[in-house]
Amino acid sequence: MEVPKSQAEWLQRHTEMGPDDIPRCKESKSKIKIRIIGRSIWIRPILGGSGKVRRIAHLYCPVCTPDPEFPRYGTPIFEDELIEDPHKIVYKNQPAL
């Protein structure tokens, strides 16, 4: 699963692995939550893409960010702004509903 690079960087700075091998917020100790959103993939230098929509994981701490704002379905993101989930958090954690 892919995540925005900015969120992968946030994950490194603000989380630590818990004893259950699930990333947790360093401050609140809460499990990091995931929202999976279909995003339109754009390719640089063109401001557009092939029309493909991929599932992108957006990460957050439910305590530090109780009401996160997420992009809407289909909101574009450039392909070079994505990275494979560095900690495989999506596979270790339940997606938030």
Q: Is residue 62 part of a domain?
A: yes
62 cis-preceded (ω within 30 degrees of 0): no
φ, ψ of residue 74 to 5 degrees: the values are 90, -10
Report residue 68's pLDDT band, with 50, 70 and 90 as the boundaries.
very high
Minimum mean pLDDT range among 16-25, 32-41, 44-53, 56-65: 44-53
Q: Is residue 97 part of a domain?
A: no
Instruction: State the chain's mean pLDDT as an integer.
Output: 84
pLDDT score recorded for residue 97: 40
Its pTM stands at: 0.78
Q: What is the mean pLDDT of residues 56-83?
A: 93
Report residue 86's pLDDT band, with 50, 70 and 90 as the boundaries.
low
CB atoms within 10 A of CB 63: 13
Domain that holds residue 10: 2-92
Amino acid 45 reads: P
- State how many domains the chain has: 1
Q: Is residue 63 part of a domain?
A: yes
pLDDT score recorded for residue 52: 83
